[in-house]
């Protein structure tokens, strides 16, 4: 579960990241609005925690740009301003929920769980490809009608690859989708997952594009 945390307060950012890690979230942390908008536009996150008062671009502007581009990522807004008008502006701009600082970490965790539950209930179509059926809602995978039990990282990898067959996915992009930016990863971890997927399904499922990444043929 990859979350983008956007918070310019060093202590608060550290605190949130530390609190969320044991919950199994991969937390990537940025400290200004412009970088956040760039990351959210180019990479996939299950959720964003967005402070409103940020350098280089206000959180509200980030949110407006995201929604104008039809980016559906669930956003939890953090705000120190307790003026009702800011909260309303945040919700109007497309925030899914908000928390006023200071807040209790337990409450933050509960809000995140609720948001993620809601977002997974949005209909996500099952992906079908040459006898493979992957259902993102139930997290079930079948091959030729048989249920296949995949470890989390293999599931995520297969999901990324099947979203758009024919598109080459770079090693960087896949590694970020699986691990986030700063999780230490063995350099051959991706190859190992690919190898397992080929064995569990069929060898031609994933094509290596030498020096670039991987591809599932159309």
Rounded to a whole number of angstroms, the CA Rg of the chain reads: 19
Show the binding pattern over residues 45-84: x = contacts Ca ion (CB under 5 A), - = does not: ------x-x-------------------------------
The CA-atom distances, in angstroms, between 193 and each of 5, 120, 129, 174 are 27, 25, 19, 11
Using rule CB under 5 A, residue 136 touches Ca ion: no
Segment holding 185, helix H or strand E: none
In the bound complex, which residue of the shown chain has the CB atom lying closest to Ca ion? 53
CB of 22 to Ca ion, least distance (A): 25
> Residue 145 and residue 150: Cα distance in Å, rounded?
15
Comparison of 10 and 84: residue with beta carbon closer to Ca ion = 10
- How many of the other CB atoms lie within 10 Å of CB of 101? 15
Give the one residue of 1, 8, 35, 81 binding Ca ion; rule: CB under 5 A: 8
CB of 33 to Ca ion, least distance (A): 10
Q: Is the peptide bond before 104 cis (omega within 30 degrees of 0)?
A: no
CB of 12 to Ca ion, least distance (A): 8
Sites of contact with Ca ion (CB under 5 A): 8, 51, 53
């Amino acid at each position: 579960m990859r979350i983008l945390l956007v918070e310019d307060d060093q202590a608060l950012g550290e605190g949130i990241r530390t609190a969320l890690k044991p919950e199994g979230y991969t937390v990537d942390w940025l400290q200004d609005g412009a970088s956040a908008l760039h990351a959210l536009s180019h990479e996939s996150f299950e959720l964003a925690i967005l402070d409103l008062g940020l350098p280089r671009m206000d959180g509200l502007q980030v949110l407006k740009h995201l929604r104008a581009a039809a980016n559906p990522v669930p956003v939890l807004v953090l705000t120190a301003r307790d003026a009702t008008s800011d909260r309303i502006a945040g919700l109007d701009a497309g925030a899914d929920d908000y928390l006023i600082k200071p807040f209790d970490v337990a409450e933050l965790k509960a809000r995140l769980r609720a948001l993620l539950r809601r977002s997974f209930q949005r209909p996500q179509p099952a992906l079908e490809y040459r006898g493979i059926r992957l259902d993102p809602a139930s997290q079930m995978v079948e091959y030729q009608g048989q249920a296949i039990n995949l470890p989390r990282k293999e599931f995520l990898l297969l999901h990324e690859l099947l979203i758009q067959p024919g598109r080459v996915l770079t090693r960087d992009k896949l590694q970020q989708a699986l691990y986030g930016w700063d999780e230490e990863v063995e350099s051959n971890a991706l190859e190992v997952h690919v190898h397992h997927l080929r064995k569990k399904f069929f060898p031609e499922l994933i094509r290596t594009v030498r020096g670039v990444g991987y591809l599932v043929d159309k």
